Amino acid sequence: MKKILGFTALCILFFNTTFAVDNIKPKKTPLKKLSKQLGNGEIVKIQSYQAANYKAIKEGWYKKKPIKVEALLTFPAGEGPFPVLLLVHSSGGAKEFTEDYLEFMRDQQEPLLKMGIATMYLDNFSARGAKNTYKDQSKISIWSTYIDAFMSLEYLSKNPKINKTKIGISGMSRGGNISLMAGEKRIRDALVSKDLYFAAAQPRSPECGVTGMFRNPQPIKETKIWYVHGKADDFTSYKKCVELAKKMSITGGNINIDVRSGWHHMFTGNFKTKFFKTFQTFNKCPSWYTEDDGSTNKEWLDMLLKHNAFKSKSEFEKISRENPKKAFKKIIKAFKSTKCIGKGAHIGGNKGKIFMPEYLSFWKKNLIN
C-alpha cells in the first residue's frame, strides 16, 4: 500500500518549472525490468528537450536544454509497417509500468500485439535523474514531457516498421495531461513537422485547473481523442477538463467526453477505492491558463502578486526561467496564503478489467481499421 500511496500523489502538476541540464544515467531503469516482464522489446533513446512552459517552446529556449530519454519499443510478429501505441506514465514514473497494483499497464500488451499494434513505453523521468515526482513535482516540468511526446512521435515516424499515420498515445493523470496536450496544434507546430500528428489519444483523469492548459485550445483536427474521467474523482476534478474539452470540440477538435459516475482517480488500479486523508487537492485554487501569446493568465499572476510571491510579472518570468525551484517555493507560499489547498482524496476502484474491452476497441477502431 505504501507504493500506492506514493504513486497516487501524482497530479499536483502545476509544479512544472524545472530544468535538468545533464542526462543522468541511473544504474537500473524501470524499462529494463519491464522488458524482462514482457519478454519483448528494445530500449531506444529519443532526442528531447526541456522547457518550463509554452513560452520556452514558442521562443525556442528549450533548444538550449537537450536530453535523451529512453523508451521500450515492442513489435508484433511480421514485417510491418505497424501502427503503434505510445504509453506515457504519471508522477509515479516508469516504474508504474511494472507494478502489481497497476496490472492494467501490462495487461494491454498481449492483446495489442495480437491486434498487430506495436507499443512504446516512454520513460520521461530516469534520464532527468528522478524516479518519481509525487513528493516534489518541481523535479520534472510537465512541459518537458509534452516535448518528449512529440519527439517520440517524430522518432516513430522515421522508423520504416511504423505506419506514421497510425500512432496513438495514452496515459493517466500526468500521463493524461500529456495525452490530452498531444492534440494541441501550437505545441506540435513549434516542435515537429506540421504534417505529423497522433491519430488518436486516450487521456484519463488529467488535471486541467492548475497545469497551465491553454485557455483557448487549438486542436489538431486529425487527432481523435477519447477523454475519460471519473465523476467522483476528488483528486483531479473533471469539471475544468470537461470545460476545456468542450472548447476543443467547438474549435474543430474530434473529442469524445466520457465522464463515468462513481469512478475515482486511478480507476484502473486493481485495488478497491481508498480514502487518503493526507493528499493535497487544488480543486478550489485559482485556475492557471496559458494565453494565446504564451503568457500566464492575469488571474493567476494577480494571485501571486497579491500574496507577495513576486514583485512584478517580469520578476515572475525571470525567476521561472532562471531559478524554477525558487519560483516553485514562492508559488506554494502564495497558495497557502489563499487557503485554497484541500486535503484528502479517494484513489483506486478496480475498474481495469471493466475498462479494458472498451479501451482495446478504441485502438482497434482508430489504429487498425
The distance in angstroms from the start CA to the end CA of the chain is 40
C-beta separation of 133 from 139 below 8 A: yes
Q: What is the DSSP letter of 184?
A: B
Beta sheet of 66-74, edge-to-edge order: 42-49, 66-74, 118-123, 82-88, 162-172, 200-204, 224-230, 254-260
pLDDT of residue 287: 87
Grid cell locating 38: 514482457
CA 17 to chain centre: 15
Handedness of CA 265, 267, 270, 273 (dihedral sign): positive
Query: For the chain, which domains are there?
Result: 13-267+351-368 (3.40.50.1820)
- Cα 78 from Cα 161, distance rounded (Å): 10
DSSP string, 307-349: TTS-SSHHHHHHHHHH-HHHHHHHHHHHHHHHT--EEEEEE--
pLDDT of residue 340: 83
Low-confidence ranges of the chain (pLDDT < 50): 1-24
Q: How far is CA 265 from CA 174, 196, 234, 306, in A?
A: 12, 32, 7, 32
| Contact residues for 136 (Cβ-Cβ < 8 A; gap 6+) | 15
Tell the residue number behind the cell numbers 480507476, with chain if given: 267
pLDDT of residue 22: 43
pLDDT of residue 13: 42
pLDDT of residue 331: 76
